[in-house]
Structure 1
Amino acid sequence: MNEQRLQAYYQLIQQLLSCADGEESAILQANSELLDADFLQMVVGLAGMFSQKGEENTANWLLALASQLSEYLNIPLEENTPEAETPVSEADIETYLLFLLEVLQATVESQGNSQVVYPLLEDNTDKLNLTFANLLQAWATTIIAETEPETAQSLAMIIGNFSNLIQQFPLGNKANNMEIAITGYEIAFTVFTRQTSPELWGTLQNNLGIAYRNRIRGDKAQNLENAIAAYTAALEVTTRDDFPVDWAMTQNNLGNAYFDRIRGDKAQNLENAIDYGAARSAIAAFTAALEVYTRDDFPQNNAETLLNLGIAYQDSQKLDLAYDTFTQAIVTVENIRGEIISGEESKRKQAEEWNQLYRRMVEVCLDLGRETEAISYIERSKTRNLVEQILSRDLENIFPSGVVTQLQELESQIATEQNLIQTGKAENYQNLVQTLQELRQQRQQLQDQYLPLGASFNFTSLNNIVDQQTAIIEWYIATNKFFAFVIQPGGKEIKVWQSSAEKFDQLIDWANKYINDYNKNQETWNNQLDDNLQNLAQILHLEEILNLVPSECKKLILIPHRFLHLFPLHALPVKNSYLMDLFPQGVGYVPSLQILQQIQQRQRDNFQSFFAMQTPTEDLYEKDLGAVTAIKKQFANSHVLKKSEAKKSTIIQNPEHLTTAHNLFFFCHGSFDSNSPLDSGLLLADEVLKLADIITHLQLENCRLVTLAACESGMIDGYNISDEYIGLPSGFLLAGSTNVVSSLSTVNSTATALLMIRFYEELKHQNNILLALQTAQIWLRDTTIQDLRTWLTEPKESSLTFAWQSEINKYFDRLEQENGANYQPFRSPVHWSAFCCIGKGV
């Protein structure tokens, strides 16, 4: 096997580890030529490496992948795994036995408390292997055979409880944990039978079914058959009348097993059929479970089961039933979201958890020809936290004072009722839940009279915010394809374009390579940017999408989805030009339609006050070419903190200049932290002004524009599957600005300085942020050295000082000697494409 193929294996595994949930299948299909026994061996080998480093979740995920691929490729997994059983000496056997007894003792004394047992397991993960499973079986079989029935029952109960714990233990080797759990259940079945202990026997059968469904070793198809048999057996004694909750749980488990089933007819596995009172299909099982898992009594289980049932209907092409089922699930999920009082992070995690539900609903709506509903559900599933935070901040600007008072009173009542429920102090739970629902409905109805948002967002409201010369393209990345929704001028009509599965795979591959090159090989990324953007335009079928935009349209608003937020889409080559050249009034960005709708409510008519943080670190002292000095001349009032004075502590402790500024300008270093987006920030003289600081401390009550002349200042968390827009632009929008100009990559300081000077010149004359930025970018891109020299010597309000003109001329002298006076030094997209305008645009 050559080194190139090994590298290809490794890159494919890295791609699988970094992709969003649900994209694995498409990636594997796109790289089918790499799927062979050697690839399996590398997957298992890397799993072992991750396990040794303590990254058990990743190791277990890789082992599960290897198991699935071994079934698909018909290559026995055991041939590609390390030794099935760890060889041990007689002395080691004694060590294993002592550990086994210690674990069982901890299990019985703690009554199966994971907080007691798991630390013991964590300290001995090296012993959680097939040797341990075999020892457990041999030891328990001997003890049970030699002891009194009562003692045997106690021991079997302890082992059954331990099996439940080891099955859910998050560390160690997942495959070994499942084998130990199955061994334990089989031991318990030698003591507890259906005749002697029917209730316990049914519980054990359900747990055994879970273990077989999650089993990694063995034949996947047979494991699922074993799971179905166990669940079916459990239902023979776990009846709805006697054990309704356990019955519903087992029905749901059985439905999942039938949904995943490999053997038998796929359609029949999904179809509705009942045999001897037990569900014999996914649809039947999920439907049965919902008889107990009601919205009022078990909201989380209700939503999960409805999602499963809806997917089964969707896969069976029963689209109307899928639509109705997903609708019910979304109602439950929205109710659950309303109950969350533990902060924005909890709401974001909930949005990630239920992303698949909204994604499936969008797909079903489109299959049914319900385009406006599809886009409404897209909007309801993204940027929800930011939408709600902006609404809370801007209440007084959006609603009449009397309505604001009413909304605040309702919010206070809702918070009080929620707190009673959360703390368990509700005297009459059902009445309180009903009251809470009524209060939420009152709040929503009152809000909707002025600005429908969240669960009430309606596409028809767009005609108030999209003029007759503006079109919108909103992308959406679904399960195995992506869509472009083209909202026509006036906002009254949608046209939809969708990709093939092949293009979806190409988009995932392209994005992973682009991001990998950017993070690890900046020179390669720079050199290939033009070609990469050309490839992206072809993958997106941009020309086809633009054919859906009327020719008279002058302005375009782009709403990316997930990782598409990270790319300069306005700079995509199309029709022998660039996208932004086709729209004379500019190409801008917004995080979502709802955010656009909200910031349109903000009135920022004045633009006379300027506040800047200029070159706060020593390495930038001579790099802005006097841009800030030149720009501030255009404003009637200006305040600049320069060099060592440009401190975070200054603006946090004395924010008066911020609150009165119409334009906030940063010329500094910036960075985006993909692992912790709230730690992304702008490097000032004393410390980093983080996104968390911006959200917490800044109040930009009069700000029309924040300009971030800094690297990576426009990047966001593109791998967040909820598409919650988290980055510096969101912080400044939340703080009060209506526009943020920022960069999507690292930027050259000279090109940035020239671009900013020209941008503000254009803004002075055109009073249109989006158009001014686009005009400045085209100018920087197309201008020759000779033209740049002429521009520098022209008398104008923002002229550079003589010292800075001399400095920049030295730079041009060198370029002219190498390339000639007609050379366009900033022609490459690397120099001009990074900056974009996010927000209102004017």
Structure 2
Amino acid sequence: MEDASRELFQIQLFEAVFENLENPEGVYPLLKANKHKLDERFATVLRLNTEAMLSEASPKYAQGFAACLAGLSFLIKEFRQGSEASNLEIAITGYEVASKVLTYETYPQQWVGCQLMLGNTYHRRIKGEQAENLEQSLCYLHKALQVCNREQFPELWAEIQSNLVIAYGYRIRGDQVENAELAIQAGEAAMRVFTRDQSPEGWGKIQNNLGLVYRDRILGDKAENLEKAIACYQNALSIRTREDFPELWAQTQMNLASAYRHRLKGDAAENVEKAIAANQRALQVYTKAAFPQDWAQVHINLANAYLHRIHGDRSENLEKAIAAHQSALQVLTKEEFPRQWAMAQMNLGNVFLEQEQIEEAISCYRSALKIFTPTAFPNECLKVGQTLGNTAFNIGDWAEAIRGYSVAIEAVETSRTWASSESRRQEILADSLHVYENMVQACINNKQLNKAVEYVERSRSKRLVDLIVSNDLYSDGEIPDEIQQYLQDFEAIQRQIDNELRQHNNSNNFDASKLGKSPQNRAAIEAHNKIIADLEADKQQIWEQMRRLDPVLAGQIQVSPMNLSSIQQLIDLPTTAILSFYTTSHDTHIFIIRQSQITLHTCTDLGFETLQESILTHWLGQYLNNQDTWKEQFSFLIAELAEVLKLNDLIAQHLKNIDELILIPHLALHQIPFAALLIGENQYLGDKFLIRYVPSCQILEFCHNRPTVSSLMNYGIVEDATEDLPYASWEGEQLANLYNIPNNQRLKGSQEASVSNYRQLIQKVQVIHSSHHARSRLDNPLESALFLGDGCITLSQLLTPSWRNPQLEDVFLSCCETGLSVTEITDDILTFSTAFLCAGAKSVISTLWAVNDLATALFSVFYYQFRHQGNKRLQSIRQAQFELRILTGETLTTIYKPKLSSFLTQKLKETDTLRKKIQKERDSHPHSSLLYEQCHEEYKKYDKIGKLIYQAKKDLELFCRESKPFSHPYYWAAFTCSGLN
């Protein structure tokens, strides 16, 4: 019976539309009289009746009827009475049915109009998930834009652009930075048609909508964006006057009020008063009877203004805020207007919180979270979840705090997944790290150490995890063409940088020996010159574009967080423990994870600022500025750190029956040689425990899951690539003899140790030993470099899909600073150590500072001797460090000096022969000729190498005279192992 009534009403409506083609508003009396029939069932009946009628109608009649249906849909969409949610559903139904007849091929302009209206209606839709509605809106608008060009249909094209401003401005999914910029681009495009003079109403609409975008824009200066928003609204009001456009005037007044409330410039108290005044102006038009939803929205705005009001009595303002919210909630029911209802609950909670009515506030926040879920409204969910967490945290309700922070973190991770650029992903995580910190502390306070360590894991090294997962997809070498092109461009810029570096080095009489394995070396904190800096910036842009195409960043692949059980499965032996460090604002926590238990060691009052200041200023600062002072202060700084970390208490209380530690440092602790931390009289942490490092448990899991390669290890060596490290060649020779490494797997000197040869070698061996110069770039870790004969291999190159080496078991970087970096706040430690793990290696040995050439050569030889005897990596590192520490000058003199001296003498002889040969050739050319200059450069190179070898012989003599020349941790503690044992 009810459906029959609706069918009759539909017939009457179509007749009214046909009778009022010249005056569409003539249909409104009929709509007002029957508004109770405009419900979702009406939409269903409308679809059934119209689709049946159109299927039997002639093409000409169908076209006229479909156009009439589209017109009726527009009238119902704009109808201000009845249920707005139902009205929009009916309009969507009508447009969808009409667009099946009004196809682009037959009626292009009308089809585009239907797509535009569908886009417009979906972004206003109340039913369904708002995030999905906005995606549908964008889909329809982009469909229309694909076939509607500015030249043929300028006004329609501009109207689509105008609607894109709103759809992108309110979009929930995707990258929020990108959405706002796309909205601004669409607005600027629309204003090329809708100018103030030619189309003032359209121009005013765009100005209003751009104001909404600038108010919440992330990119750029927040204060300036708000000023732009206010300017846009004021521009809109110059057209949208109360006399000519009362509804639009009220809408813009409400928006202006919101901008003034958030304004950062000007007098804060006056800004709130301006916000209140603008809201009250809006209420002159937005009455509860005529515009109930808008009236309610203004009351929410007023409530927020009163909450932040500075003038007037505070308690009175808060009462006004509560009253305004309660008024709004008379209209904004959870069923009809879920988002607005939830927003009112959130804001009402804020008022109760201000009044110290904590239970009422918590109740409101809980209510809001029923609608503001992590996937439906991540931004709002983050705000409410965090506020709920903080509120409960402050009263010691740890369980409630955990509930609040839990949904907030899910919202952060949802937003991070939707971000399309790597840098934006990092920003989202960095902006929310305090939520993770509070969550971890709440879990600790609630005696839930398992949850605490799981959230520690979720907060760290996410960028590295993304990179490993991404690059593992290309382990078979299949790389999409578009990424291949970016990789080629990336490598081309790197070659330009290499050329520029060569020219810079030549013109500045550059000494390559100071790049590494030399006490004078220090990490770089900027590019060599502006040309290189600009090229690096170009490389970074290509990196970002390449990463945007990545399946992980595109959201096609997601990495599930680890729970405690899966973390514990990474521990092979009951005598091994994971030590996961986590520094908060106040304390440093060390989680001790064993196969079947987890405990906690807390260093109170060792918060972020204290620890970072201690390490970055005293440790790293001295290393960069004065290495002699740093070396002198080394033992004192290490002892101090062992004391503040309460290492002896940690060992006594938590590490009984443990002999291996897997360390996961946090922030500045990545720079610390834990093996050298003193735990007793001349006893170091490395004496008691085997030690290895990983950036996170998730990365350790990736290493564990990599397939086992052949048991027959194939070795490769890259040695003395710039021919100025005398002991590197000796080191390579000892390894080659020990493992019978053929010459074609030894890249010796500048001619053989080229970038391309290195790349080829690393693809066919399971163990690579690199002994040459390297340097860390603390200002830009991706530009840290391994220096080879004809150029560099940068850390960023190793992190691209083209450097996939899943067959690599071991990488030994016998170079300077290959494990040194300053971490970002998100704790992504970008070093050559982590880069080789990303590239496929299971284990990497690297260095935390610029190491000594002779000490490094001896350490390497000791390490491989122990490995050759069947020892595992960690045992071999510890034994090699111990051998180097206890090596006496007497032993050095009797056992090693003869071999080393003989080797250096031979090298000096070869170098002198080459120097004399090139001198002779040089002198055969006229002094002013290019050939003379080229030969002279070669002559200077060999002359310098000769002096270096001579200096190495003198240093050997000095070391031989000392009782234990390498006992200082500077010589042995830099070497660390990351990955598997």
Task: Give the TM-score of the pair, scaled to structure 2.
Answer: 0.57
1:545 maps to 650
Establish whether residue 111 from structure 1 lines up as the match of residue 208 from structure 2: yes
- Alignment partner for residue 192 of structure 1, among 282, 288, 311? 282
Shift of 1:375: 2.4
- Alignment partner for residue 560 of structure 2, among 443, 451, 454? 454
- Alignment partner for residue 369 of structure 1, among 447, 462, 465? 447
- Alignment partner for residue 484 of structure 1, among 582, 590, 613? 590
**Residue correspondence of structure 1 range 617-632 to structure 2 within 5 A:** 617=722, 620-622=724-726, 624=728, 626-632=730-736
2:979 maps to 839
Establish whether residue 733 from structure 1 lines up as the match of residue 837 from structure 2: yes
Shift of 1:316: 1.9
d(CA) in 2 for partners of 1:616, 1:791: 27
Establish whether residue 667 from structure 1 lines up as the match of residue 757 from structure 2: no
Q: Aligned pair in 2 of structure 1 residues 644, 258: CA closer, same or farther (>3 Å)? A: farther
- Alignment partner for residue 290 of structure 1, among 349, 352, 369? 369
Task: Indicate if the aligned counterparts of 2:302 and 2:324 stay in contact, CA closer than 8 A.
Answer: no
**Code of the aligned partner of 1:247:** W
d(CA) in 1 for partners of 2:815, 2:397: 51
> Structure 2: which 5+ residue stretches go unaligned?
1-200, 476-549, 910-947
Shift of 1:234: 4.7
Deviations 1:213-239 (A, max 9, x none): 899xx89x9999968955763553254
1:317 maps to 396
Establish whether residue 474 from structure 1 lines up as the match of residue 614 from structure 2: no
Q: Aligned pair in 2 of structure 1 residues 148, 202: CA closer, same or farther (>3 Å)? A: closer
d(CA) in 2 for partners of 1:712, 1:300: 40
Shift of 1:477: 1.9
1:85 maps to none
Task: Indicate if the aligned counterparts of 2:303 and 2:325 stay in contact, CA closer than 8 A.
Answer: no
Task: Indicate if the aligned counterparts of 1:626 and 1:804 stay in contact, CA closer than 8 A.
Answer: no
**Code of the aligned partner of 1:236:** S
Deviations 1:564-610 (A, max 9, x none): 222212211111234344326x2211222333344234435646422
Shift of 1:675: 4.4
> Structure 1: which 5+ residue stretches go unaligned?
1-103, 274-280, 398-417, 424-435, 445-452
Tell me the secondary structure at the aligned position of residue 702 of structure 1.
coil
Deviations 1:452-498 (A, max 9, x none): x833534366256331332332212234222112234xx11222111
Shift of 1:739: 0.8
2:507 maps to none
Shift of 1:742: 0.8
Task: Indicate if the aligned counterparts of 2:820 and 2:831 stay in contact, CA closer than 8 A.
Answer: yes
d(CA) in 2 for partners of 1:523, 1:224: 63
Task: Indicate if the aligned counterparts of 1:568 and 1:744 stay in contact, CA closer than 8 A.
Answer: yes
Task: Indicate if the aligned counterparts of 2:749 and 2:789 stay in contact, CA closer than 8 A.
Answer: yes
Shift of 1:108: 6.2
1:308 maps to 387
Shift of 1:731: 1.9
Shift of 1:544: 0.9
d(CA) in 1 for partners of 2:728, 2:248: 77
**Residue correspondence of structure 1 range 384-463 to structure 2 within 5 A:** 384=462, 386-387=464-465, 390=468, 454-459=560-565, 462=568
State how many pairs are aligned.
653
Shift of 1:553: 3.0
d(CA) in 1 for partners of 2:854, 2:610: 35
d(CA) in 2 for partners of 1:228, 1:706: 67
Establish whether residue 244 from structure 1 lines up as the match of residue 338 from structure 2: yes
Tell me the secondary structure at the aligned position of residue 634 of structure 1.
helix
Task: Indicate if the aligned counterparts of 2:679 and 2:685 stay in contact, CA closer than 8 A.
Answer: no
Q: Aligned pair in 2 of structure 1 residues 196, 361: CA closer, same or farther (>3 Å)? A: closer
d(CA) in 1 for partners of 2:223, 2:695: 48
1:430 maps to none
**Code of the aligned partner of 1:289:** A
Shift of 1:541: 0.9
**Code of the aligned partner of 1:761:** Q
**Code of the aligned partner of 1:775:** Q
Establish whether residue 510 from structure 1 lines up as the match of residue 614 from structure 2: yes
Tell me the secondary structure at the aligned position of residue 266 of structure 2.
helix
**Code of the aligned partner of 2:454:** S
Q: Which moved more, 1:197-206 or 1:460-469?
A: 197-206
Q: Aligned pair in 2 of structure 1 residues 128, 611: CA closer, same or farther (>3 Å)? A: closer
Task: Indicate if the aligned counterparts of 1:167 and 1:177 stay in contact, CA closer than 8 A.
Answer: no
Establish whether residue 825 from structure 1 lines up as the match of residue 965 from structure 2: yes
**Code of the aligned partner of 1:832:** W
- Alignment partner for residue 669 of structure 2, among 555, 564, 575? 564
d(CA) in 2 for partners of 1:670, 1:227: 62
d(CA) in 2 for partners of 1:186, 1:107: 23
Shift of 1:299: 4.4
Task: Point out the structure with max Rg over C-alpha.
Answer: 2
d(CA) in 2 for partners of 1:391, 1:717: 23
1:588 maps to 692
Deviations 1:648-683 (A, max 9, x none): 64148xx44222212112223333344443333323
d(CA) in 2 for partners of 1:525, 1:107: 64
Shift of 1:388: 6.1
d(CA) in 2 for partners of 1:668, 1:183: 67
d(CA) in 2 for partners of 1:734, 1:518: 28
Q: Aligned pair in 2 of structure 1 residues 210, 148: CA closer, same or farther (>3 Å)? A: closer
Shift of 1:380: 3.6
Task: Indicate if the aligned counterparts of 1:252 and 1:285 stay in contact, CA closer than 8 A.
Answer: yes
Q: Aligned pair in 2 of structure 1 residues 636, 108: CA closer, same or farther (>3 Å)? A: same
Deviations 1:493-548 (A, max 9, x none): 22211122356653243134234444455454333222111111111111111113
d(CA) in 1 for partners of 2:299, 2:819: 53
Q: Aligned pair in 2 of structure 1 residues 396, 553: CA closer, same or farther (>3 Å)? A: farther
Shift of 1:837: 0.7
d(CA) in 2 for partners of 1:671, 1:207: 55
Q: Aligned pair in 2 of structure 1 residues 313, 213: CA closer, same or farther (>3 Å)? A: same
d(CA) in 1 for partners of 2:738, 2:880: 16
Task: Indicate if the aligned counterparts of 1:763 and 1:772 stay in contact, CA closer than 8 A.
Answer: yes
Q: Which moved more, 1:666-675 or 1:362-371?
A: 666-675
2:820 maps to 715
Q: Aligned pair in 2 of structure 1 residues 802, 561: CA closer, same or farther (>3 Å)? A: same
Shift of 1:769: 1.9
d(CA) in 1 for partners of 2:802, 2:756: 12
Tell me the secondary structure at the aligned position of residue 548 of structure 1.
helix
**Residue correspondence of structure 1 range 214-363 to structure 2 within 5 A:** 230=321, 233-237=324-328, 239-241=331-333, 243-256=337-350, 261=354, 268-269=356-357, 271-273=358-360, 281=361, 283-294=362-373, 297-329=376-408, 340=418, 342=420, 347-363=425-441
Tell me the secondary structure at the aligned position of residue 485 of structure 1.
strand
d(CA) in 1 for partners of 2:374, 2:644: 43
d(CA) in 2 for partners of 1:522, 1:154: 68
CA RMSD across the alignment: 5.0
Tell me the secondary structure at the aligned position of residue 574 of structure 2.
coil
Task: Indicate if the aligned counterparts of 1:612 and 1:664 stay in contact, CA closer than 8 A.
Answer: yes
d(CA) in 2 for partners of 1:788, 1:776: 15
- Alignment partner for residue 859 of structure 2, among 755, 759, 762? 755
Establish whether residue 774 from structure 1 lines up as the match of residue 878 from structure 2: yes
Tell me the secondary structure at the aligned position of residue 110 of structure 1.
helix
